Amino acid sequence: MLGIWCLLSVLVPQQLFAQQAEYELSTPSSKAKKYYLKAEQAFIETNRADAELYLLKSLKADEQFVEAWLLLGDVYGELGKADEAIEAYKKAIDISPDFFPPVYYFLGKLNYKAAAYAESAAYLRKLISYSNIADDIKKGAVDVLSRAEFAANAVNNPVPFNPVNVGPAINSDADEYINAIRLDGGLLLFTRRFALPDEPGSSTFMNERFFYSQDAGGLWMPANELMTNWTIADNMGAMTISADGMKLYYAGCSWPGGLGSCDVYQSDLIAMQWSEPTNLGSWVNSPQWDSQPSVSADGHELFFVSRRNGGLGGSDIWMCRLLPDGRWTRPINLGENINTPGNEMAPFLHPDGKTLYFSSTGLVGLGGADLFVSRRDESGRWSVPKNLGYPINTAADEINIIVDATGKKAYISALKDSGSGRFDIYSFEMPGNISPDPVSYVKAIVADASNGIRLPAAYVITNLETGQVVAEGNCVLPDGSFLAVLPSGNDYGLHVQFKGYLFYSENFALSQHSETTPFVLNIGLQPIRLGAEMVLRNVFFDYNKAEVMASSNDELTKLANFMGENPLLKIELGGHTDSLGSEEHNLQLSMERAEAVKKILIGKGVPGRRLKAIGYGASKPVADNSNEAGRALNRRTTITLIE
């Protein structure tokens, strides 16, 4: 019972003892005084049970003995009997409202903790009305009053919240804590905490293990323990997974070679096995406690919680960035907009790259730890955190939240009557004012177009406007696919290649709207052989013109590199149009476009003798020209291996 009871056990007796030295006790009953003094001595000796007994006898002798009620309230507080403490203090006020003004502070804090927010605010306002209150008490009262007023308003204006238990496939009679959900929503990671016998016939201890469940058409499959080919002690936790499903980050505590009590580690998915833990090193980890990692969707930012020197107090959220050489920068504290002298915990950066959810005991809330959201602007500054509201937050501790890529569904761990009796995982629909920006993603399986054999092809996704690589890797998820996030508001180009095959390209135009529908692709790569053909989907032209747009540069650079890697190839560059306009015009336009692409490739070092430009006009449609969607597919540039 740290906090209020530390204050009570010092302040109340000292105040009352001072009164005894200067004044007579308020009771005329000698019996009440006798038992009160015995209680006082027992309280000093931390004998709370005897103190309670003597005070009850004292009050039996005189029910109007205000000092006895005050001290009894303090004793009940020390015994963890908050309701009884409130009633004792209220009795003292009923007898003499102005006898000991700090009692209103104690009642304010007790009622706030009990979620009686309106009552808490009333008591604290009463305290502040006194002119002779010590500055430290008044300052504390003002702080709790702001929390009580916020909480009362939150309860009177609840946010939509209808948590649904995710079911027995995941939840059990043990504690389940949500850790992460893969970008496509197909894999859920969680920690299960349960009691195991230490040794036969001995007491039990709490053990934590990582589990996962896979989505099968909207239903979660029975959870399996996340197995690795390395063995480590049980003292590990706070796991998260990268958006592409290729990296695990987690905390390991008191491991050999560790730098502090807990460090952040990483494992990579290699040949369907999770690699042995790699300590992220002294630029990330400190000699203190480091835990609860969260990685950005592009893998370039790592958020985590630390109690290292240089923080604002308690545990703070820190962030570091990935360097080109694969190392992490030294962490920076997220600053006073996020961190407080209390504890900030469980950061989760949504795949939109700018919406941060976290838990805090220091920010104004409903009591204990509450969940908050902050958004990062274009300059990198974090907004003032917003409490997620009641009843998502309550007087109990709310520790972490995970939100899916759509921004519409969230997952929390909670102890509810509708659950298994312990902490279960629940999902709920996110209220719009606290939801992140929706993001889309691309999930693709790459195979040989001739025989269907899956290929561990390399992929790169580029922002077509800036040329910046936003994701890259290989198709090595267990189902042979890859995953990558596509934040709204930009246009992206996808490039997939594997040795011995023509590369594949695709584009995702998200600049004009917030597309949330995922792009699920089955990509067939064409083996390098005579007649193999592919579409250059990231080569663009202005309407009815032959000038190649700047956003085509990345695609043509990759084609030039492909030609350099295969010096014996000769290709045909085919220009194609839709059927609008005259046949003569379309043939001319398509030829000019093919020649424009050829000219750029020559400028990038491809010998002209290896390039043949042909315009086909509208003679080779691949879709219906009667609608715009079909016409857009027909307007294309192709390459065909001709030698």
Query: Is the C-alpha dihedral spanning 173, 176, 181, 182 positive or negative?
Result: negative
Class of 169-434 per CATH?
mainly beta
Write down the architecture of domain 438-527 according to CATH. Answer: Sandwich (2.60)
For position 202, what pLDDT does the model report? 47
For position 20, what pLDDT does the model report? 41
What is the pTM assigned to this prediction? 0.84
Third-level CATH fold of 529-643: 60s Ribosomal Protein L30; Chain: A; (3.30.1330)
For position 298, what pLDDT does the model report? 86
Third-level CATH fold of 4-156: 1.25.40
For position 231, what pLDDT does the model report? 61
For position 246, what pLDDT does the model report? 87
Query: What are the sequence ranges of the domains in the chain?
Result: 4-156, 169-434, 438-527, 529-643
Residue 408 CB-density burial (10 A; 0-12 exposed, 13-18 middle, 19+ buried): middle
Percent of the chain with pLDDT over 70: 93
The stretches in the chain having pLDDT less than 50 are 1-23, 201-203
Q: Is 3 left (phi over 0), alpha (psi -120 to 50) or beta?
A: left
User: Which tokens is 516 given?
Assistant: 């949330």
Q: How far apart are CA 637 and CA 240, in angstroms?
A: 42
Q: Are strands 439-448 and 301-306 parallel, antiparallel or unpaired?
A: unpaired
In what helix (H) or strand (E) does residue 251 lie, and over which residues does it extend? Answer: strand 247-253
For position 10, what pLDDT does the model report? 38
Q: Are strands 344-349 and 355-360 parallel, antiparallel or unpaired?
A: antiparallel
Alpha helices in 23-80 (DSSP H): 30-44, 48-61, 66-78
